Structure 1
């Protein structure tokens, strides 16, 4: 029995080889050949699908890794673009703001002979009883106490203290002549043949500017533009203070008092101008 098995296998192999040689070159296959081919094709197809799926899976993983790397590059590019856009917008806004301020100084030259030194606001006091700001110009830049400070909108205040590199500016809301540290701000109305006159004070209760001591016959009206009169030798003439919001009878019915809406935006001070008048020895 043991010797028959190898013999049978050998006979079967010889018959298979003979069968293959016999069928070579024939256009038609016998049914055993067709059976073998169909069986092999079915088995090959059954194996090809899962093997192809596994190959596609690993190929997709490789592509996913490439997509992730591309997304990382795109995210960094977008982040850099966003930072550049923010920087550009900031520079563009600052450029437009400075152009407006330069235009302001050029316009002022048509009305007076003042010179304007631009300064950056470096800080503001947190003391509610002392409304001041600090600017980045000092004595080395030629600043002196009692120089007027303004913006392109209107009067801000007066230089009160000067150091080498910085100066303190007391806001007009603290220059009330009725206080111990006050400085009278004399005012008039712009563009009126009959000259008005009054003194600017600050109302702590309403947080508004008042123009007091106005003559009872003064033709001052609402929406009039109030400017510095130049009297007193401190504030140069022609700096806008604000507009008349309303007026009422003053003390004892002998004068009028007007409520003034300040022209300067005190809560948005970024750059200011120090006014150098012709009769003040400037830098």
Structure 2
């Protein structure tokens, strides 16, 4: 009977809605809460550290992907710009050849410049004997006269630029080809029957071309467009060379000299044309 009474009293103490706790209960609760707090804080720090490490790893991987994406985008952008620039040049080249075909019955073989020999003032193009290229064929750009072929291999050819027309390397190239054609016979566009001169040297100070042997009565004037006269054995008629900048008396006062600014750029040549003049039938 005593045990039953104690059991009922214990149940009343346990399930009752008491608003207070006994001191043993408070002691046990405070002790357990303090121990839990001491354990939870370092465990939380460690868990947070691992979470931060995982976050750093994720950010690093995302940065790597972004870096690769940016690099690929930059490479693709550069390639696209190169293709757009080349497409523009080829469109200009096509328009140039169409205009030239209407003016003269010449064939124009497009070639890429693969090497620039600055010391010799020569360039190498990717056309050779297998393409029907021969020594002394004229070479032009969209802008104007560039030079002539001086040596040919199976797949490549060397072009002497007109800016090196009076260089020692030019003379040696002429001797190697067996044909000395250093000078270029010129005339003025629209005044073909009234004007004549010879391009055989370059002003060393300015890099401009010098047209010599101009007769006193010649009507050549600054601003005129100078073209090849076709009277030489190399350059056909009608290829634009440049614009007259100045006309002055020669060294002996007998003939005149005209300073010519070339139309073609010789420092950024990418594509050029080899002029193939069909043989007369």
TM-score clears 0.5: yes
**Distance in 1 between residues matched to 2:11 and 2:223, nearest whole Å:** 117
Partner of 2:189: 190
| 8 A contact 2:140–2:273 mirrored in 1 | yes
Aligned length: 263
**Distance in 2 between residues matched to 1:223 and 1:122, nearest whole Å:** 34
Q: How far 1:255 sits from its partner (Å)?
A: 2.0
Partner of 1:250: 250
Note the aligned Cα RMSD (angstroms). 2.9
| 8 A contact 1:149–1:155 mirrored in 2 | yes
Q: How far 1:24 sits from its partner (Å)?
A: 1.1
Q: How far 1:199 sits from its partner (Å)?
A: 0.7
TM-score, normalised to structure 2, is 0.81
| 8 A contact 1:200–1:210 mirrored in 2 | yes
Partner of 2:50: 58
Q: How far 1:268 sits from its partner (Å)?
A: 1.6
| 8 A contact 2:188–2:220 mirrored in 1 | yes
Please state if 1:142 is matched with 2:132: yes
Structure 1, unaligned runs of 5 or more = 1-16
Partner of 2:94: 102
Q: How far 1:223 sits from its partner (Å)?
A: 2.2
Please state if 1:208 is matched with 2:203: no
Q: How far 1:105 sits from its partner (Å)?
A: 1.0
**Distance in 1 between residues matched to 2:17 and 2:41, nearest whole Å:** 30
Partner of 1:14: none
TM-score, normalised to structure 1, is 0.81
| 8 A contact 1:155–1:263 mirrored in 2 | yes
Please state if 1:261 is matched with 2:261: yes
| 8 A contact 2:194–2:219 mirrored in 1 | no
**Distance in 2 between residues matched to 1:248 and 1:18, nearest whole Å:** 135
**Distance in 1 between residues matched to 2:216 and 2:233, nearest whole Å:** 26
Structure 2, unaligned runs of 5 or more = 1-6
Q: Give runs of ≥4 in structure 1 deviating > 6 Å.
A: 17-20, 177-180
* Alignment equivalent of 1:166, drawn from 130, 149, 156: 156
Q: How far 1:278 sits from its partner (Å)?
A: 3.1
